[in-house]
Amino acid sequence: MTEKSKVFVRDATGLVREFNAWDSFGFQFGGIVTVVGLSTLFITFAFLLGANILISLLILLPFLICYYVVESQLAGAMPRSGGDYVYTSRILHPSLGMVSGWIQTFLLILNPAIFSGLIVTTYIPDLLSAVGLSSMTSPFLSIPVQFVLDNIIIAICIVLVIIPIRQYAIVQRVLLALAVLGAILVPVALLALGHGGFVSSFNSKSPVSYDSVISTAQSHGFTQSFSWLDTILAIPGLGFFLITNWPAQVGGELKNPRKSISLGLFVGFISAWIIFFITAVLYYNVLGTNFAGSIAYLSTNDAAATPFGGSIVLTSIIQYIYGLNAVTLIIAISLIGACVLVIAQSLLLSTRFVFAWAFDSVIPHRFADVSPKTGTPIFTTIILWVVAEVVLLVELFESSAVGVYLSAALGVVAFPILACIAAILFPKLRKAMYVSSPQFTKYSLGGIPLLVVAGVIGLIGFGLITTLTVAYPQAGSPVTAANASFMGSMFILGALIYFISHTYRKRHGVDISLSFKEIPPE
């Protein structure tokens, strides 16, 4: 056995380059789940009444730009599937690479249960209501019905992940087009309505008038005011959608990966951010600041005082005002399509992390097997299907699932920190790799690599956001001592997996640390 065969499972991964730049955009825009984000964007008002989402988005923007500079440049230097895990393990330490990959895999594997639940309990009933079949929505409240339908949705997505990448890409493009259309139609629907149109339509449909909603909220103690603290605390919630680096995780399957990754990350993120910002502007202007704050306040203090009850989901508000028409129907369908898209992407990306661990011999080589017929890791996909099933069962039948889900907020804002540290230290710790990187990775500002500058700014930003998420429970929706401890244990577990594997392999004469001294083959 040669030294190289000890380092990697084989000389080529077996994965195929079938994704293009549009697919890279699809992973980023789809991972942000833009139309779903718009749907739930203003729920934050229920517990951060003084927040101004416009200012929150503006504060978050420079940190996101720096983070995506970091991701695009590191992924450009090491364009391999399992992105964050690969370059963090090569630059910092294999155990830290495992922490990054493990946390992101954990977050990804939550998505099938979360988003299939959204489809079944919210978006399908909304669609049925939109087409005049509200009488058929009651069965979706049943846990057995939810379990069956959730499983059907997840199983369909598993099939998509197993089939050849070329065929998967076609389905993803269709779902992406639907998700993009829905995301655009949400602000368009608000713009077409205008403030006067909203007030008029609301008064004609609602059993309580527009003014009475505001006066009722005020009688309960609500006062419209701006709060810098609430505005800053809204940032982690926005980050839950906007912090997505998914194109970097399929670098080994992208055609012209360095260009495709950068285009996917930035065009996907900027498109979503602009849509978020425009929608926030229109939300304040069309609904009116006092009314928006009033329905948020009443959703938790007197839900019966508004026709929206305990929910301030924007797409439901639009549907209520407009009734059934082509726009509301397309939005309703796009919400379902966007959820299916993010479930399939989450399953696919989680397999790539696991695949990369196996390729580096951190876990059994069986997980790095790729079907010669489909070019996909079928065995790994099936195993992760089982894990997704466990998550689904916990979410449906155990109340403690709520704590697990909410702890995801801390994971989302914390994992970029490792990438930023890797970016800062890359030129020093791995000088040979850095020198051999493409020219755009070595671009400098005043003699200092742009990668380092972006890493420092990103580290400061995400460090502060993580601190806020822990210090202020409401920022993490909420982060409690219990779920913060759970998330902390997940970080530690990721590192332990590497050390346990390293010790085990060493006893059998294999030093897996050798694999982290070079970039994996394609």
Q: Each residue's pLDDT tens digit in the chain (522 positions)?
A: 344 445 677 666 778 888 999 999 999 999 988 888 888 888 767 778 888 999 999 999 999 999 999 999 999 899 888 889 999 999 999 999 999 999 999 889 989 998 999 999 888 888 887 777 878 888 888 889 999 999 999 999 999 999 999 999 999 999 999 999 999 999 999 999 999 999 999 999 999 999 999 999 999 998 888 999 889 888 888 887 888 899 999 988 899 988 999 999 999 999 999 999 999 999 999 999 999 989 988 988 888 888 888 778 888 899 888 988 899 899 999 999 999 999 999 999 999 999 999 999 999 999 989 888 888 999 999 999 999 999 898 888 875 555 555 556 667 777 899 999 999 999 999 998 888 888 888 888 888 999 999 999 999 999 988 888 777 766 655 566 666 777 778 888 889 999 999 999 999 888 888 888 888 877
In a domain, 454, yes or no: yes
Which amino acid would we find at residue 126? D
In a domain, 512, yes or no: no
In a domain, 95, yes or no: yes
The CATH number of whichever domain residue 471 belongs to comes to 1.20.1740.10
In a domain, 456, yes or no: yes
In a domain, 520, yes or no: no
Contacts 24+ apart (CB under 8 A), 148-153: 149/116, 149/119, 149/120, 149/124, 150/113, 150/116, 150/117, 150/120, 150/392, 150/396, 151/389, 151/392, 153/112, 153/116, 153/119, 153/120, 153/340, 153/343
In a domain, 522, yes or no: no
pTM (two decimals): 0.91
Q: Is 140 left (phi over 0), alpha (psi -120 to 50) or beta?
A: alpha
In a domain, 521, yes or no: no
Q: Count up the domains in the chain and report the number.
A: 1
- Provide the domain limits for residue 223: 3-501
In a domain, 482, yes or no: yes
Q: Is 444 helix (H, G, I), strand (E, B) or coil?
A: strand
Q: With the C-alpha atoms ordered 20, 419, 473, 117, is the resulting torsion angle positive or negative?
A: positive
